Chains A and B, each alone.
Chain A
């Protein structure tokens, strides 16, 4: 990585309050500083209510900070309008949610293509090929036309990962991606994220409650009561399946 390339994500004194201006105003995030590099595979852990989801929404440009700045690929985002944030989100961020959140009206392949279609309209052969090969890599080539409600939880989550990766994002955000799956499927899904994060070359930040998953990550960021209390790097993460 060259010096000139900015970090994927940089938080500078990031604060978030709810009910701003009201008597019950509460600050959830108290000035976070954090840098995520291109090759990071990081776990964001912390007890319930520590602000993990809030932070993830801010990083995903779904929400706006009350104070501080969030640089995505070196671009400051706090002054962007909705259209600008939508564009940047579409270009640089892939989401994987706990409940997979596929669009029920479409088959698996169309779900994977959706982020591309939303930005570029009718997908070309190159885009369709990419989506197909991602589905195949997830072991789902047979289910290209299958609706999400006819897939198992693990299969749906794999479609969601393929969808998150199809735009070749710089940052993959995963909110409890395995929270809803049994242990074996969870390990599967985790490995896929790890492998493709590396292959596509995007940083991964995943929120998890599962200590086994966080232990398998290269980096663990511990958020307690809206403050980062520890940020540790493992030299090489052991495999979760090993």
Chain B
């Protein structure tokens, strides 16, 4: 008779799969029980991860919706000191210099350079300085912000925040925050007096009122065209800062450091400015990871205990298989595969469950934010559960493989 004399490892593995699948089907009750257990664990992991991801991206979006990811500034001015001879001791008593408002040197070229960086999404030159805004006898201190509207819209989508008027900044026009508008009783079309203390006050038309949702900004921000703000702040042709957005917001730190090295300017990322928020986010991530670890552990113990029972129940069959020519390796594979399948199939069920939970949350939940389920998270859960299944199966599988066939066959 003809049959392949070569018994390859692959052919033997095929049989291990057949045995594992048949054992799973045969022990249907056990299989379903443990898979439901795995599914609950995976559903919790996926749902909680998605929830936290949704929450975090929502918080980050809200935070970054009203500020640049990176702000590039001119470095602080320092006192110049005359050189002194070697071997002399110099005692210096110095006051830190007052930092006057001054332009970034050669900012057009810096903007051009930053524009070429692939990690940078957009660059917008800004001139900012203090001023008084007045109407009649009322006077408010404001932050005058001169912008190139086209570029600035890529940093903060002002159009999204407009509550009245239209987004445009011709000379003699200003956009103001809603709080300021309320305090000064201004609405679109009204006139506003701006004074920077340089004896060159200007009167501008309010063309838009915006509401960024941050009280401080809504009470103080006044947007002007770049040229007019330069004139008012006494820095013709200058800008005091460059606002940037980056592609990967969590790389902002690294990119900021790179930009600082590249330009010799100061670059500050949103992560530095919002250190407390970053702390909260990483604490949240930590707690998510803890949940994943402990759920994985309990899933692993569940799978291990079911497989241990299964090995005991199948002791005699293992002995028979060994007598019929099954190697230790094959017996090991049979139970490892079962562990992997418990994990994988349970994870599939759990992911389906998580989708239902997410749908319920998005549809009937508080509606504060939307939870997306990332594809990466699904793949992660599948891989995690399968690996946990294999690891959990290691001990019972080994015990099955090491069974003495003589003893196993007599086992009742």
- Which A residues lie at the B interface, using CB under 8 A? 57, 60, 62-63, 82-83, 86-87, 89-91, 95, 97, 101-106, 114-122, 124, 126-127, 130, 163, 167-168
Chain A residues, CB < 8 A from B25: 105
Q: Are A86 and B1 in contact (CB under 8 A)?
A: no
Q: Are B323 and A121 in contact (CB under 8 A)?
A: no
Chain B contacts with A in 374-412, Cβ cutoff 8 A: 404-406, 409
How near does chain A come to B291, taking the closest CB pair, in angstroms? Answer: 37
> With A62-B323, A115-B324 in contact, is A121–B409 under 8 Å at CB?
no
B12 CB contact (under 8 Å) in A119, A130, A167: A119
Query: Is there a chain A Cβ closer than 8 Å to B110's Cβ?
Result: no
Chain B contacts with A in 33-88, Cβ cutoff 8 A: none
Q: Are B406 and A163 in contact (CB under 8 A)?
A: no
> Which one of B140-148, B150-158, B170-178, B325-333 is at the A interface?
B325-333
Q: Are A105 and B15 in contact (CB under 8 A)?
A: no
Q: Are A118 and B405 in contact (CB under 8 A)?
A: no
Chain B residues, CB < 8 A from A82: 327-328
Query: Is there a chain A Cβ closer than 8 Å to B95's Cβ?
Result: no
> With A103-B317, A104-B317, A122-B14 in contact, is A116–B409 under 8 Å at CB?
no
Distance A86 CA – B18 CA, assembled complex (angstroms): 20
Label chain A's interface by main secondary structure: helix
Q: Are B322 and A119 in contact (CB under 8 A)?
A: no
> With A57-B406, A101-B316, A103-B320 in contact, is A119–B7 under 8 Å at CB?
yes
Chain A residues, CB < 8 A from B18: 117
Query: Is there a chain A Cβ closer than 8 Å to B8's Cβ?
Result: yes
Q: Which of B4, B7, B26 has the most CB of A within 10 A?
A: B7
25 pairs of residues in contact across A and B, judged by CB atoms under 8 Å: A57-B406, A60-B323, A82-B328, A83-B329, A86-B326, A86-B327, A87-B325, A89-B325, A90-B325, A95-B323, A102-B320, A104-B26, A105-B19, A115-B324, A116-B3, A119-B7, A120-B3, A121-B10, A121-B15, A122-B15, A124-B2, A124-B4, A126-B3, A127-B3, A168-B1
- Which B residues lie at the A interface, using CB under 8 A? 1-4, 7-8, 10-15, 18-19, 22-23, 25-26, 316-317, 319-330, 404-406, 409
Q: Are B324 and A163 in contact (CB under 8 A)?
A: yes
How near does chain A come to B40, taking the closest CB pair, in angstroms? Answer: 27
Distance A202 CA – B26 CA, assembled complex (angstroms): 35
By beta carbon, the residue of chain A nearest B26 is A105
Q: Are A62 and B321 in contact (CB under 8 A)?
A: no
By beta carbon, the residue of chain A nearest B6 is A120
A114 CB contact (under 8 Å) in B1, B10, B324: B324
Chain A residues, CB < 8 A from B1: 126-127, 130, 168
Q: Which of A62, A115, A122 has the most CB of B within 10 A?
A: A62
By beta carbon, the residue of chain B nearest A106 is B22
Q: Are A115 and B14 in contact (CB under 8 A)?
A: no
Chain A residues, CB < 8 A from B26: 104-105
By beta carbon, the residue of chain A nearest B24 is A105
Chain A residues, CB < 8 A from B405: 62
Distance A62 CA – B407 CA, assembled complex (angstroms): 10
By beta carbon, the residue of chain B nearest A91 is B325
Q: Are A83 and B22 in contact (CB under 8 A)?
A: no
Q: Are B325 and A101 in contact (CB under 8 A)?
A: no
Q: Are A119 and B328 in contact (CB under 8 A)?
A: no
By beta carbon, the residue of chain A nearest B316 is A101
Q: Are B327 and A120 in contact (CB under 8 A)?
A: no
How near does chain B come to A124, taking the closest CB pair, in angstroms? Answer: 6
How near does chain A come to B13, taking the closest CB pair, in angstroms? Answer: 8
Distance A49 CA – B323 CA, assembled complex (angstroms): 22
B325 CB contact (under 8 Å) in A119, A124, A126: A119
Q: Which of A103, A114, A115 has the most CB of B within 10 A?
A: A103
Q: Are B23 and A62 in contact (CB under 8 A)?
A: no
B409 CB contact (under 8 Å) in A97, A115, A120: A97
By beta carbon, the residue of chain B nearest A83 is B327
Chain B residues, CB < 8 A from A121: 7-8, 10-15
Distance A87 CA – B12 CA, assembled complex (angstroms): 12
Q: Which 9 A-B pairs have the closest CB atoms?
A: A90-B325, A121-B11, A105-B26, A121-B14, A115-B324, A117-B15, A119-B7, A105-B22, A101-B320
By beta carbon, the residue of chain B nearest A102 is B320
How near does chain B come to A16, taking the closest CB pair, in angstroms? Answer: 11
Distance A221 CA – B18 CA, assembled complex (angstroms): 41
Distance A87 CA – B6 CA, assembled complex (angstroms): 12
Chain B residues, CB < 8 A from A103: 317, 320-321
Q: Are B2 and A126 in contact (CB under 8 A)?
A: yes
How near does chain B come to A202, taking the closest CB pair, in angstroms? Answer: 14
How near does chain B come to A18, taking the closest CB pair, in angstroms? Answer: 11
Chain B residues, CB < 8 A from A104: 26, 317
Distance A87 CA – B324 CA, assembled complex (angstroms): 10
By beta carbon, the residue of chain A nearest B4 is A120
How near does chain B come to A47, taking the closest CB pair, in angstroms? Answer: 19
Distance A82 CA – B325 CA, assembled complex (angstroms): 11
How near does chain A come to B406, taking the closest CB pair, in angstroms? Answer: 5
Chain B residues, CB < 8 A from A114: 321, 324
By beta carbon, the residue of chain B nearest A173 is B323
By beta carbon, the residue of chain B nearest A114 is B324
Q: Are A118 and B323 in contact (CB under 8 A)?
A: no
How near does chain B come to A222, taking the closest CB pair, in angstroms? Answer: 23
Distance A126 CA – B3 CA, assembled complex (angstroms): 7
How near does chain B come to A168, taking the closest CB pair, in angstroms? Answer: 7
Q: Are A86 and B322 in contact (CB under 8 A)?
A: yes
Distance A127 CA – B330 CA, assembled complex (angstroms): 20
Distance A103 CA – B326 CA, assembled complex (angstroms): 13
Distance A60 CA – B405 CA, assembled complex (angstroms): 11
How near does chain B come to A194, taking the closest CB pair, in angstroms? Answer: 22
Given contact pairs A105-B25, A118-B12, A124-B4, enumerate 14 new A-B contacts (beta carbons under 8 Å): A82-B327, A83-B329, A97-B320, A105-B23, A105-B26, A115-B324, A117-B18, A118-B325, A121-B7, A121-B14, A122-B15, A127-B3, A130-B1, A163-B324
